[in-house]
Amino acid sequence: MSDQQVDKGRRTWVAIACGAGAVGGVATAVPFVSSFQPSEKARAAGAAVEVDISSLQPGEKMTVEWRGKPVWIIRRTPEQLEALKKLDDQLADPNSDRKQYPTPEYAKNQYRSIKPEIFVGVGICSHLGCSPVDKFTPGAQPSLPDDWPGGFLCPCHGSTFDLAGRVFKNKPAPDNLEVPPHMYLSDTVLLIGEDKKA
């Protein structure tokens, strides 16, 4: 066997070994690099949520989950909407100017909503993260004032919110309930988590 043939054989084996090494390196790198991508579960947790509200009747509330948080959707009655107009002097931040939970521009109104009758808000108290309970019925009730207009009561430390998620004065909660980004895909379908069309 000549030296030329030996060199050619070595080069062939070196090329094969390098090729196998490169394939092995790529096979190792692909799963490693793709591990930096969010999992399907993580992508789903941050994804926008489509909600059909066609069956929601006046005075009713439904709850959906978005990013692991409860989001309330409430169809307010004409009486509830009228009551909201009379509360500004009792509220800590009636115009949603505070910045802890910035309110989207389209919800910076007395109803804190795109459509006055539909309220969309995150059901987590801005004080320590408890979930307020519904106290929609106006009037005197345990833990509430005699002139209660209807809204929410946080059972942990007594913060109260009106039916637009605005916190009443002199309560532990430092801010109104969060209004998540949302938009209407149709008259009866909401998309929570995106507001590109707003």
pLDDT tens by residue, 84-119: 999 889 998 888 887 777 889 998 898 999 999 999
For the chain, the helix, strand and coil percentages under 3-state DSSP, each to the nearest 5: 25, 20, 50
The three-state secondary structure class of 90 is: helix
Q: Where are the beta strands (DSSP E) in 137-181?
A: 151-153, 160-162
CA distance 71 to 79: 23
The three-state secondary structure class of 122 is: strand
Q: What's the chain's average pLDDT?
A: 82
Q: What is the pLDDT of residue 38?
A: 45
Q: What is the pLDDT of residue 92?
A: 87
What are the structure tokens assigned to 135, written together? 């106290």
Q: Which CATH architecture has domain 44-192?
A: 3-layer Sandwich (2.102)
Inform me whether the pLDDT recorded for 74 exceeds 90.
yes
pLDDT band, residue 27 (cuts 50/70/90): low
Inform me whether the pLDDT recorded for 181 exceeds 90.
yes
The lowest-confidence range among 13-17, 28-32, 93-97 is 28-32
pLDDT band, residue 63 (cuts 50/70/90): very high
Q: Hey, what amino acid is at 181? A: P
Read off the pLDDT of each residue in 153-180 and give the average, rounded to a whole number: 89
What are the structure tokens assigned to 60, written together? 């009713």
Q: What is the pLDDT of residue 138?
A: 87
Q: What is the pLDDT of residue 45?
A: 57
CA distance 110 to 96: 9
What are the structure tokens assigned to 184, written together? 């209407």
Instruction: Report the percent of the chain where pLDDT is more than 90.
Output: 35
